[in-house]
Structure 1
Amino acid sequence: MYKRIISLLLMIMTINVAPLQTLAQDGTMNFSVTAVIPENQIDQTKSYFDLKMKPGQVQELEVLMNNPLDKEVTVINHANTAITNDNGIVDYSNANPQLDKTLNAPFSEIAEVEKEITIPAKSSKTLKVKVTMPKEELDGVILGGLHFTEKEVENPKEDGKGGVQIKNRFAFAIGVLMRENDKFIEPELQLGKIEPSQINFRNTLKANIQNTQPLIMPEVEVKSHITKKGSDQSLFEQNKQGVRMAPNSNFNFGIDWENQEFKSGKYTLHMTVFNGKDKWEWNKDFEITQKEAEKLNDKAVELEVDNTKWYIFGAIAGVLLLMVIVFILGQYVMKRKQKKRRIENRRKRKKKQNTVNKKKQE
């Protein structure tokens, strides 16, 4: 019972979603949205939907949309499945994300919403979102978000050169958390694929961390470092606190390569992940191939190139060149000596022959 209460409290703490809003230059908003809290709301004080539902239950959620401007505003609406982005944040803004294979009931598949709505000037409208729970009872939670974005308005450019000018867009998100029971779910994380990659054209190792369970993980801490395989010397390390993971989601934890070149070889990732009292430890080998290293290094910016190999190649080339020069000089000197000996021998033979001829004449 204690574990169950703690689990629910952590989920409630995590789901609270602040609107993603942008203000106009005069400080006003082009539109605003407010969740109309229904009777089956677990906590009536929350500004997002936190619902207790039954298997197969169909419910219409209502969102009040207000337009304070003197002109109509058109809003694009999406019912998005919550994911964990690569910054370690629960994200509701992606309308077509790559969903985790362990996710059985994506919010985007059980929710229906009108794709576009126009709010008249100085008026409000109520948007209805139809939610249909799966017929089979589900343990844990379903997490999604209603995402609202102002439709782009195209106006001719002031310079008269043609084309269009895109105005600022206003966006909001309202979280939707649903559950059918209060069963305690044991947390489970897994370490997936490890691969060299880049973030903003800077070399980064990406390690995929997967939350395989239908629960929110609100306060995850990650500690990691890289070594050469079979070595204890740390080459690179990355630690991060405050990571939040959506149910049945995964993200790529980035380990900064500190503007260094990727070098081909076999390495080991040492990673420890904490979530409150829960702890996971992994020591996983991976390999960076020569092809991968060259491809990424060629695209990297602000790369601190290691010239050691070129110094070695230069030294070897210098030694080889010196050996060639010494060999050529040695051959030259040897040939000069041989030529000198031949000349000297011919001179001696000639002198001897002259002496013999002279004796014959006598």
Structure 2
Amino acid sequence: MRKALTGWLASGLMILGLGMMAPKMVHADAVKAVPLSVVPITNEYQVNKATMFYDLEMKPGQHTELQMKLINNGKSPLTVRVRDTATSTTDAGQIDYTNLSTRYDPTLKYPLPTLIKIPKQYQEIKMPAETTATYHLPLTMPKQQFAGIILGGIRVTPVVNQTVKRGIGNTYGYTVAVRLSNGIDQLPSLRLKQVSVGSAASGGAEVRANIQNPKANLLNKGTLAARVTKQGQNRTLKSLTLNSSSVAPNSNFTARVPWNGSIAPGDYTLHATYTSNDLKFADQKVWHFTKNFHVSTVQAARYTLSAMHIPWWAYAIMIAILLLLIVLIWLLLKRRKGAKPSASA
């Protein structure tokens, strides 16, 4: 199991541009402008010394240092920022090692940034031209023994001046994965937390299914198939498929089923199946989820209007016409009241 996981991390990080030698979203001009290299140094607690990331198995409460070599190959000084992150799962069903948010899943007991204390002087490093330096990042394991893994990354990003940033238009950086364990396995699992309806970024409605992995291990090689029906019926109204999905340990993500066009008020049902061929399991693992939800009349009207992409000026014209009608009605009523004949003596 550990061999399979190590292989996935090594290959997956390189594919995602998150490996220690693979810059994320590197533009050709960015390489010339920011000639940075990041090399992790093998730790004494390394499980597999051939891996290109920190994969440590330690005892509760043990201390160590993660050593990292930074190289400025350029002929100009360079300033870099160093941050540590806990892995999260994107709404597209992919593991993210670069998310700096501290809004963790409630089941994440030991976020990596609480275990690695990056010294203040390392958080923003000024490197002279054509220099190499090794930095030491203190790490302390949780005092309590835990099952599964703690997964995160160390993110190194150059501070690029505005002139260069406008020229490259991409975020340039390196993330080195960090995997910690006490040597006790735990299988990943999934559960459907909630289903709701919201506004899609492109307009209209979307059905949101929040799926959580409450266990301290990552889930690989997954496919999510979700569909929406009227409650009590089987005809598929809308659907979503996420292929090649992965879910980070102790994380959740929101699968968004797009609803193009108008949505009618009423009762609906979300049906979801997550299938994984992860080698952690003896056979293919399948989770089935079903949950009912309701769309109110107000929600349906709001999402239908947003799907029509009516420009702001059209709303302004409609409001102006409405106000004009109100004024006209008021004037007519006032005129009619003033035209009434007075009562005879």
Give the TM-score, by structure 2 length: 0.77
Q: Residue 261 of structure 1 aligns to which amino acid in structure 2?
A: S
Specify whether residues 206 and 13 from structure 1 end up closer, same or farther in structure 2 by C-alpha distance, changes over 3 A only.
farther
Alignment correspondent of 1:278: 285
Specify whether residues 230 and 11 from structure 1 end up closer, same or farther in structure 2 by C-alpha distance, changes over 3 A only.
same
Matched, 1:61 2:66: yes
**Alpha-carbon distance in 2 for matches of 1:199, 1:34:** 41
Q: CA deviation at 1:154?
A: 3.5
> 98, 123, 126: which one pairs with 1:93?
98
Greater shift after overlay, 197-206 or 267-276? Answer: 197-206
SS at match of 1:25: helix
Q: Residue 33 of structure 1 aligns to which amino acid in structure 2?
A: V
Q: Residue 211 of structure 1 aligns to which amino acid in structure 2?
A: N
Alignment correspondent of 1:222: 224
Matched, 1:13 2:20: no
Alignment correspondent of 2:138: 130
Alignment correspondent of 1:262: 263
Alignment correspondent of 1:33: 38
Alignment correspondent of 2:313: none
Alignment correspondent of 1:173: 175
Specify whether residues 179 and 24 from structure 1 end up closer, same or farther in structure 2 by C-alpha distance, changes over 3 A only.
same
Q: Residue 140 of structure 1 aligns to which amino acid in structure 2?
A: G
Specify whether residues 25 and 187 from structure 1 end up closer, same or farther in structure 2 by C-alpha distance, changes over 3 A only.
closer
Residues 121-169 of structure 1: CA deviation (Å, up to 9, x unaligned): 11112222211111111110000011111113145x9xxxxxx968654
CA RMSD of aligned residues (A): 2.2
**Alpha-carbon distance in 2 for matches of 1:195, 1:218:** 26
Q: CA deviation at 1:262?
A: 2.5
Q: Residue 137 of structure 1 aligns to which amino acid in structure 2?
A: Q
Q: Residue 178 of structure 1 aligns to which amino acid in structure 2?
A: L
Alignment correspondent of 1:117: 125
Specify whether residues 240 and 38 from structure 1 end up closer, same or farther in structure 2 by C-alpha distance, changes over 3 A only.
same
Specify whether residues 138 and 266 from structure 1 end up closer, same or farther in structure 2 by C-alpha distance, changes over 3 A only.
same
Query: Alignment identity in percent?
Result: 26
Residues 308-327 of structure 1: CA deviation (Å, up to 9, x unaligned): xxxxxxxxxxxxxxxxxxxx
**Alpha-carbon distance in 1 for matches of 2:177, 2:308:** 38
Alignment correspondent of 2:319: none
Q: Residue 210 of structure 2 aligns to which amino acid in structure 1?
A: N
**Alpha-carbon distance in 2 for matches of 1:194, 1:14:** 31
